[in-house]
Copies of this chain bind each other. A is one copy, B any other.
Amino acid sequence: MPQVRVALAQTNPLVGDISVNLDRCFAAVADAAAAGAKLVLFGEMVATGYPIEDLAHRESFVRSAEDAVADFARRLDDAGFGAIATVIGHPSMAQQANGWAIAHNTASVLLGGKVIGSYAKHHLPNYGVFDEHRNFLPGNELLTFEHQGLRFSVVICEDIWQAGGPVAQIGQTGTDVTLVLNGSPFEIDKDDRRLALVRQIAKTHGTAVAYCNLVGGQDDLVFDGDSLVIDAAGEVKARGLQFAEDLLLLNFDETGGVEVVSEPSVTRADDDWQVWNALVLGLRDYVNKNGFKSVILGMSGGIDSAVCAAIAADAIGADRVFGVSMPSKYSSGHSRSDADDSAERIGMHLRTESIEGYTAEFEAGLALEGLAAENLQARMRGVILMALSNKEGHLVLTTGNKTELAVGYSTIYGDSVGGYAPLKDVEKTLVWRLARWRNAYAAQNGLTPPIPENSISKPPSAELRPDQVDQDSLPEYDVLDAILDAYVERRLSREEVIGLGFDSTTVDKVIGLVAIAEWKRRQGAVGPKITSMAYGRDRRMPITNRYR
């Protein structure tokens, strides 16, 4: 019975860096060849990285990707890998442009030094963070090919999420193995949805399925890997690492059976582990792919900056993390001691720059008081962080969380300054949960919990006036997060949210705050999406908008 050894190469490409991406693919094919693989499957658009957004409208870019893939086929052949079928994702020029989009989202099969077939994605996602109707033209043909005695068919990502798509037709082609190239970003619980979907496809159409996902951070997206291999009976045979590159090796046969070649190391764990690792990978890749040597952030002694610092240290190492404690006359004693404690636990750099003198100068010069004086303090801190960034070259991290972003509880050009927002999609109650999880994880492994217990347990405060706490102006965070979940993520109406049992005054206040904070969100830093509704590309709302 013919059996074909297939490798799923879960790699981490960088958008626009075509030659480096293909070098990495070359190394993966070499590894797979050494392990006896006859077919290598990569992720969606791995040659260019993904998503390329409006780079897809630039003819020179699309043509250079196509040329690079043709060169790559020759290079594989020259190196003795010509007999391996290599299935790789890239953009390609469409036959007919529609006046805006010019390209397909393509998967090509390379064999014997040539591109022997190409498949253009049929279903173009145009919701959430995706703009693929903007950027690509849809394909409408199937691609199946025989290789080493088995029949393979190729589809791309969204094609398997849409009923009546090419997958339904594949069942009639005698396909033994369906190859799926994916660029599927992490969301909490999405791994379970993917798994159920792929199992269903395998069982319905009677083919084994090799589902290869990208891995890595790209601006606000984190591709989590977690590639899957399912046999024709719907049984999971292998899963790729989450949040790391991987190479899965399996033997497929013509009965739809799958044999694991080497037991993969499995790192899958609970939701908190997944979220933490998504945040870590997102930050690491933003820093490294954009060429930063280090990050800098304000350390207030509060929970958000403590968690951001811990994520940063996990991502790039504590020696690349620089904290600045910036006390004012309203800062409590614990704000400094907790910041010190954070830095010591993590082993990061920490310095102190008091804002007192600067604040006093502006307050006097401009006769500021009340909200203007409160915002001023946050802006003095922003000026200091940006000055140190300009002087020393660090990327500034802004430490605000999703709940603050939702209701505008931040000072624009103050605590919001920065190029990357690690907690952008992490609501306040989840920040606390992650902090507890991370500390417990450290304790379980005999290591120092990185987050001071006091930062977790004390009442949150911006400390911009005497004895201020967040709950002076906001509902309790468990209530606030529940209202935001209902109103923003589930898009319930005001009446429906109140119907869940929340106080109508509170609901109206929250809805009003969400609306008037839109202009601030538009000017915010990018940060990693971990939910089904992240602020940013996922939720595009008008600024000028009277609807409440």
Contact B383 A376 (CB under 8 A): yes
Measured between beta carbons, the chain B residues less than 8 angstroms from A519 are 419, 526
Contact A59 B100 (CB under 8 A): no
Contact A15 B526 (CB under 8 A): no
Bound together, the chains give a CA A372 to CA B52 distance in angstroms of 33
Given the known interface contacts A15-B547, A493-B58, A547-B16, the answer about A368 and B387 at a Cβ–Cβ threshold of 8 Å is yes
Considering residues A60, A289, A412, A547, which has the most beta carbons from chain B within 10 angstroms of its beta carbon? A547
Measured between beta carbons, the chain B residues less than 8 angstroms from A100 are 127-128
Is A329 interfacial (CB-CB < 8 Å)?
no
Is A173 interfacial (CB-CB < 8 Å)?
no
Bound together, the chains give a CA A382 to CA B386 distance in angstroms of 13
Contact A543 B526 (CB under 8 A): yes
Bound together, the chains give a CA A419 to CA B217 distance in angstroms of 30
Is A267 interfacial (CB-CB < 8 Å)?
no
Is A55 interfacial (CB-CB < 8 Å)?
yes
Measured between beta carbons, the chain B residues less than 8 angstroms from A526 are 519, 522, 543
Is A523 interfacial (CB-CB < 8 Å)?
yes
Residue of B with least CB distance to A522: B526
Measured between beta carbons, the chain B residues less than 8 angstroms from A52 are 542
Is A444 interfacial (CB-CB < 8 Å)?
no
Is A546 interfacial (CB-CB < 8 Å)?
yes
Is A468 interfacial (CB-CB < 8 Å)?
no
Is A371 interfacial (CB-CB < 8 Å)?
yes
Is A439 interfacial (CB-CB < 8 Å)?
no
Select A546's contact among B14, B353, B524, beta carbons within 8 Å: B14
Bound together, the chains give a CA A368 to CA B237 distance in angstroms of 59
Bound together, the chains give a CA A219 to CA B542 distance in angstroms of 7
Measured between beta carbons, the chain B residues less than 8 angstroms from A5 are none
Given the known interface contacts A365-B353, A375-B387, A413-B413, the answer about A496 and B60 at a Cβ–Cβ threshold of 8 Å is yes
Select A547's contact among B55, B286, B524, beta carbons within 8 Å: B55
Q: How many residues of A contact B (CB 8 A)?
A: 81
Is A96 interfacial (CB-CB < 8 Å)?
no
What per-residue 1/0 map shows which CB atoms of A126-166 lie under 8 Å from chain B? 11100101100000000000000000000000000000000
Bound together, the chains give a CA A127 to CA B134 distance in angstroms of 5
Given the known interface contacts A17-B546, A540-B54, the answer about A391 and B372 at a Cβ–Cβ threshold of 8 Å is yes
Contact B386 A379 (CB under 8 A): yes
Is A491 interfacial (CB-CB < 8 Å)?
yes
Bound together, the chains give a CA A474 to CA B131 distance in angstroms of 34
Residue of B with least CB distance to A57: B491
Contact A544 B290 (CB under 8 A): yes
Residue of B with least CB distance to A385: B413
Contact B375 A362 (CB under 8 A): no
What per-residue 1/0 map shows which CB atoms of A11-44 lie under 8 Å from chain B? 0001111101000000000000000000000000
Is A361 interfacial (CB-CB < 8 Å)?
yes
Measured between beta carbons, the chain B residues less than 8 angstroms from A59 are 491, 493
Is A204 interfacial (CB-CB < 8 Å)?
no
Is A189 interfacial (CB-CB < 8 Å)?
no
Contact A53 B417 (CB under 8 A): no
Is A390 interfacial (CB-CB < 8 Å)?
yes
Considering residues A52, A285, A523, A539, which has the most beta carbons from chain B within 10 angstroms of its beta carbon? A523
Is A445 interfacial (CB-CB < 8 Å)?
no
Bound together, the chains give a CA A429 to CA B144 distance in angstroms of 55
Considering residues A362, A383, A519, which has the most beta carbons from chain B within 10 angstroms of its beta carbon? A383
Select A53's contact among B379, B491, B541, beta carbons within 8 Å: B541
What per-residue 1/0 map shows which CB atoms of A54-72 lie under 8 Å from chain B? 1101111100000000000
Q: Which of A366-390 contact B (CB under 8 A)?
A: 366-368, 371-372, 375-376, 379-380, 382-384, 386-388, 390
Bound together, the chains give a CA A383 to CA B55 distance in angstroms of 36
Bound together, the chains give a CA A14 to CA B544 distance in angstroms of 8
Select A55's contact among B58, B353, B367, B542, beta carbons within 8 Å: B542
Shortest CB distance A504–B (Å): 15
Residue of B with least CB distance to A161: B99
Contact A545 B15 (CB under 8 A): yes
Contact B218 A544 (CB under 8 A): yes
Contact sample, A vs B, 9 pairs, CB 8 Å cutoff: A16-B542, A54-B539, A60-B495, A60-B496, A131-B134, A366-B388, A372-B387, A379-B386, A386-B413
Q: Across chains A and B, which 5 residue pairs bring their CB atoms closest together, nearest first?
A: A16-B547, A60-B493, A372-B390, A100-B127, A17-B546
